[in-house]
Amino acid sequence: MVAPSGAARPDPVPADARTVLDENDIARALTRITHEILERNRGSADVLLLGIPTRGVHLAHRVARRMSEVEGREITAGSLDVTMYRDDLRLKPARSLEHTEIPDDIDDRVVVLVDDVLYSGRTIRAALDALNELGRPRLVQLAVLVDRGHRELPIRADFVGKNLPTSLAEKVKVTLVETDDVDAVTIVGGAPA
Amino acid sequence: MTFTHLLSAADLSREDAVRILDTAEELLSVASRPIKKLPTLRGRTVVNLFFEDSTRTRISFEAAAKRLSADVINFSAKGSSVSKGESLKDTALTLQAMGADAVVVRHHHSGAPHRLAHAQWTQGAVVNAGDGTHEHPTQALLDAFTMRRHLVGGGAGPLGGKGQSLEGKNITIVGDVLHSRVARSNALLLDTLGAHVTLVAPPTLLPVGVDHWPVQTSYDLDAAMEKSDAVMMLRVQRERMNAAFFPSAREYSRRYGLDVARMNRLPDHAIVMHPGPMNRGMEINADVADSDRSVIVEQVTNGVAVRMAVLYLLLGGAAEEENE
So what's the pLDDT on residue B98? 86
pLDDT band at B319 (very low <50, low <70, confident <90, very high): low
Q: Does the pLDDT of residue A192 top 60, yes or no?
A: no
Rounded CA gap, B189 and B110, in Å? Answer: 18
Mutual angle of helices B137-147 and B181-192, in 10-degree steps: 50
Q: Does the pLDDT of residue B163 top 80, yes or no?
A: yes
So what's the pLDDT on residue A25? 96
Quote the CATH superfamily of domain B9-135+301-323: Aspartate/ornithine carbamoyltransferase (3.40.50.1370)
Give the nearest chain B residue to A132 (CA atoms).
B35
Label residues A69-89 b or e (16+ Cβ within 10 Å = b).
eeeeeebebbbbbbbbbbeeb
Does the CA dihedral B297-B299-B241-B191 come out positive or negative? Answer: negative
Residue B25, classed as helix, strand or coil, is helix
Could you tell me which residues come within 8 angstroms of residue B87 by beta carbon, excluding any fewer than 6 positions away?
Answer: none
Residues of chain B with Cβ-Cβ distance to A53 below 8 Å are none
In contact, A185 and A29? CB cutoff 8 Å: no
Is A121 contained in some domain? yes
In contact, B141 and B10? CB cutoff 8 Å: no
Which residue spans within chain B are E strands per DSSP?
45-50, 71-76, 102-107, 125-131, 170-174, 196-200, 216-218, 230-233, 271-273
So what's the pLDDT on residue A6? 44
Could you report the per-residue pLDDT of A38-69, keeping only the tens digit for each?
Answer: 999 999 999 999 999 999 999 999 999 999 99
Is A43 contained in some domain? yes
- The domain limits of chain B are 9-135+301-323, 137-296
Structural domain that includes position A55: 24-165
Residues of chain B with Cβ-Cβ distance to A100 below 8 Å are 26, 29
Main-chain phi, psi angles of B114, to 5 degrees: -65, -45
Taking CA B237 as the corner, what is the angle to CA B234 and CA B243, rounded to the nearest 5 degrees? Answer: 125
Rounded to 10 degrees, the C-alpha dihedral A30/A31/A37/A38 comes to 160
Q: Does the pLDDT of residue B52 top 60, yes or no?
A: yes
Taking CA B208 as the corner, what is the angle to CA B11 and CA B252, rounded to the nearest 5 degrees? Answer: 105
pLDDT band at B160 (very low <50, low <70, confident <90, very high): low
CB contacts < 8 A, A to B, total 68
In contact, A99 and A179? CB cutoff 8 Å: no
Q: Do B314 and A94 touch (CB under 8 A)?
A: yes
So what's the pLDDT on residue A163? 95
So what's the pLDDT on residue A15? 63
Cα end-to-end distance, chain B, whole Å: 15
Q: Under CATH, what is the fold of the domain B137-296?
A: Rossmann fold (3.40.50)
Main-chain phi, psi angles of A46, to 5 degrees: -100, 0
Averaged over A11-33, what is the pLDDT?
86
Is A119 contained in some domain? yes
- Regarding predicted confidence, which is higher, B124 or B161? B124
- Element spanning A191, H or E: none
So what's the pLDDT on residue A4? 44
- Selecting from B33, B162, B314 the residue whose C-beta is nearest the C-beta of A133 gives B33
Q: ipTM score here?
A: 0.83
Rounded CA gap, A101 and A117, in Å? Answer: 21
Average pLDDT, chain B: 90
CATH of the domain at A31: 3.40.50.2020
Could you report the per-residue pLDDT of B226-264, keeping only the tens digit for each?
Answer: 999 999 999 998 777 766 788 888 899 999 999 999 999
Of A112, A110, A192, A187, residue with least CA distance to A149? A187
Averaged over B37-43, what is the pLDDT?
93
Q: CATH topology of B9-135+301-323 equal to that of B137-296?
A: yes
In contact, A127 and A52? CB cutoff 8 Å: yes
Interface of B with A (CB under 8 A): 1, 15, 18-19, 22-23, 26-27, 29, 33-35, 37-40, 158-159, 162-163, 312-318, 321, 323-324
Is A137 contained in some domain? yes
Of A35, A62, A12, residue with least CA distance to A175? A12
pLDDT band at B323 (very low <50, low <70, confident <90, very high): very low
- Domain count of the fold of chain A: 1
- Selecting from A91, A96, A133 the residue whose C-beta is nearest the C-beta of B23 gives A96
* Other Cβ atoms closer than 10 A to B24: 29
Is A13 contained in some domain? no
pLDDT band at A27 (very low <50, low <70, confident <90, very high): very high
The whole-angstrom distance between B311's CA and the closest CA on chain A is 10
In contact, A51 and A79? CB cutoff 8 Å: yes
Rounded CA gap, B141 and B313, in Å? Answer: 14
pLDDT band at A5 (very low <50, low <70, confident <90, very high): very low
Q: A1, A79, A83, A90: which to substitute to probe chain B, counting the most B Cβ within 10 Å?
A: A90
So what's the pLDDT on residue B144? 96
Averaged over A141-168, what is the pLDDT?
96
Residue B231, classed as helix, strand or coil, is strand
Residues of chain B with Cβ-Cβ distance to A3 below 8 Å are 317
Average pLDDT, chain A: 90
Q: CA–CA distance from B97 to each of B100, B116, B124, B144 (Å)?
A: 8, 15, 11, 36
Rounded CA gap, B324 and B321, in Å? Answer: 6
Averaged over A133-161, what is the pLDDT?
96
Residue B278, judged by CB atoms within 10 A of its CB (0-12, 13-18, 19+), counts as middle
Q: Does the pLDDT of residue B176 top 80, yes or no?
A: yes
Looking at residue A118, what DSSP letter applies?
E
Could you report the per-residue pLDDT of B209-232, keeping only the tens digit for each?
Answer: 999 999 999 999 999 999 999 999
Looking at residue B284, what DSSP letter applies?
B
Could you report the per-residue pLDDT of A108-142, keeping only the tens digit for each?
Answer: 999 999 999 999 999 999 999 999 999 999 999 99
β-bridge pairing B45-50 and B71-76: parallel
